[in-house]
A and B are shown apart, each in its own frame.
Chain A
């Protein structure tokens, strides 16, 4: 602990309190994430274990760097790069104006970080603007690996209760247990749309409502769009209203056709046909004008940042869902 100097408290989550600080040897600004122990008689909580386990393995410009971990006075401390803000704050700050190059730059960095995870057989499983941190130099970094999972085996069923609802892919919403990197790509598609719209694109109010919202926006999928769709655990018991497919162009009026093509390939229903991070990075959208804005030139959150209100925070797993579920007749699920 004597290698670092602790300054102010800058945030608090369920499992940790975060302070700003300085690494004394380099004078580098850092974040100290102090994991609350004490009340955990079961040792370190699983999200913190995942975060440490994956961040120790992943080193990339677009992934939040874990500089050090150590135990100190009955608590676990993670030393992280200090981030200025996150993409949710920037999107919500209406004083900040984005241009098409800025959106492209943020999307590019998100995809690069995600590709690095996928290449290492790691799924993030909770991508959303709030987990895309922005460093002082404008670089975007993926953070919060508390739900991440490795998928090299792929044959083991996994829980579908991951990813904050608005960014959750249809295969997860139908409680598919065998999924892959497509869940991250879907979330990135939603983030891409949100960057263009400046408001969450598919904001459902419950798990079931989320599917409705998606189908209304993108058309209800048929067995042809998505082979295997009808066999997913929750599909069998559900009747869906058939919504027609409306062209994205009608909502995203300002977007170029290359941007819409990429968006559409990210929001493809069939996870097997959904674009991969690698192919997305190779999409002509990134080669066409305008060029992605250089990170240091990206709009900052300098003007009066309105902090996102606590109760508006979107969580991956909220009890509200459970409440809604228990009220609905079993038939629906």
Chain B
């Protein structure tokens, strides 16, 4: 988290309504090749690659999340099907997202380590290696795609703050926080960070977590609790529905099939 969300570019430039988002995505080339569900699965596939790259580089969660948001923002206005003329493969782009996110979050890594991990972990499938110079060149296109807005806000701090406000025993709180944290991480596989402000995501995640751990908080009047933060119960419920949809989409994910989709995209060059 950085700067102030309310005056931020994230709020002004990078939050969309579902309709706006759908329109942007529908304008992309991959639409002729992928159904909406398939596109979601392809996004989960690439997010998974971001996570394994980041884990190999031992990055903090927030950097991973920033990289995921960069990737999603870029592909709102660019096709997942690489253009023949500039030839940016999503794999190159996701490596670049991780590399830039490290710089932006003030934890720079060496460009060579990024290319090495990408190459050695067989993340590239049948492709050859990723050259460091390709990453530095791609960084240009990525920043342009981000319209040079690089500060990303995350729900993590809000989750911690809100949980402190709930009356939970120390033990319950630890479990609660872990579960909530994992749900927040999962949102980065989806478009949710471009649809809702971080504090809303935090509240919905807490609500969902509370539902999963019924006993601990069964007496809390959540409607009243949300109103203390000036958030309507109904708005949280809609967002919780999104979270449940997200898990529905994930449950239909079959790695082998999605790999097939990804190769289909590659060969669909235009």
Contacts and interface: CB of A to CB of B under 8 A. Distances in A.
Contacts of B32: none
Chain A facing B: main interface SS: mixed
Contacts of A70: 144
Contact of B157 (A42, A44, A153): A153
Q: Give the interface size class of chain B.
A: 20 to 34
B139 A43 contact: yes
B149 interface: yes
Given A43-B111, A56-B148, A150 B136 contact: no
Contacts of A49: 100, 103-104, 150
Q: Give the interface size class of chain A.
A: 20 to 34
B3 interface: yes
A52 B151 contact: no
B83 interface: no
A40 B7 CA distance: 33
Contact of A152 (B2, B9, B139, B141): B2
Interface string A42-57: 1110100100111011
Interface in B1-51: 1-4, 7-9
A242 B108 CA distance: 41
A122 B106 CA distance: 13
Given A56-B148, A57-B151, A149-B106, A42 B3 contact: no
30 contacts: A40-B136, A41-B111, A41-B132, A41-B136, A42-B110, A42-B111, A43-B111, A43-B135, A43-B136, A44-B143, A46-B103, A46-B108, A49-B103, A49-B104, A49-B150, A52-B150, A56-B149, A57-B9, A57-B149, A71-B140, A71-B141, A71-B144, A76-B143, A120-B3, A120-B4, A121-B3, A122-B3, A149-B106, A150-B3, A152-B1
Interface of B: 1-4, 7-9, 99-100, 103-104, 106, 108, 110-111, 132-133, 135-136, 139-141, 143-144, 148-151, 157
Interface of A: 40-44, 46, 49, 52-54, 56-57, 69-71, 76, 119-122, 149-150, 152-153
What are the 9 tightest A-B residue pairs by CB atom distance, in nearest-first order? Answer: A150-B2, A43-B136, A43-B139, A53-B150, A120-B3, A69-B148, A152-B1, A120-B4, A71-B140
Given A152-B2, A153-B1, 9 more contacts: A41-B133, A43-B103, A44-B139, A49-B150, A56-B150, A56-B151, A76-B140, A121-B2, A152-B1
